[in-house]
Amino acid sequence: MSDRAASGATQRPLRRVRVTSDAATSVPGTRGIALPGSPADDADAVFARALRRSQLRLALGTVAGFVVVTATLTLVIALIPEIDRVVIVGLPLSWILHAFAFYPVIIVFALLYARGAARNERAYRDLRERG
């Protein structure tokens, strides 16, 4: 038993507090800003989650493609010994491939990712402007 009830003090009824507001009343200074829990905030959150998911999917796909291409190039260099017989400027072709062939692959995948990310963001902006 609580101290108040044990001492015989009378309890006052709890006062109700209104936590929601009517659409007619607005908070000054919030024009154009979505308040937490508002429909605009929910839509923005959904669109932002969709953008993050699509960017993550693009990143994982790009990394997976890059790993496959570089692993294939490495295997080709390692498994075909005839490549070492070709000598260019005093260096075996396998050394030249190791030194320079990976840079164009990196640049191609970087450009593909940048274009895909820009496309995802454009689609997000279009959805946000329509919604």
Q: What is the pLDDT of residues 67-112, one digit of tens each?
A: 999 999 999 988 998 988 999 999 999 889 888 989 999 999 999 9
* pLDDT for position 4: 53
**10 Å Cβ neighbour count for 34?**
14
* pLDDT for position 44: 78
Query: CA angle 122-69-91, nearest 5°?
Result: 125
In a domain, 28, yes or no: no
* pLDDT for position 5: 54
In a domain, 46, yes or no: yes
In a domain, 56, yes or no: yes
In a domain, 75, yes or no: yes
Show the domain range for 123. 36-130
Q: Which two tokens stand for residue 85?
A: 């017989």
> Which 8-state DSSP code applies to residue 82?
G
In a domain, 104, yes or no: yes
* pLDDT for position 18: 62
In a domain, 26, yes or no: no
* CA–CA gap between residue 121 and residue 108 (Å, rounded): 20
Comparing 63 with 13, which gets the higher pLDDT?
63
Calculate the average pLDDT of the chain. 81
In total, how many domains does the chain have? 1
In a domain, 13, yes or no: no
CA dihedral 68, 71, 74, 75 (to 10 degrees): -100
In a domain, 78, yes or no: yes
Give the global pTM: 0.61
What SS3 state is found at 91? strand
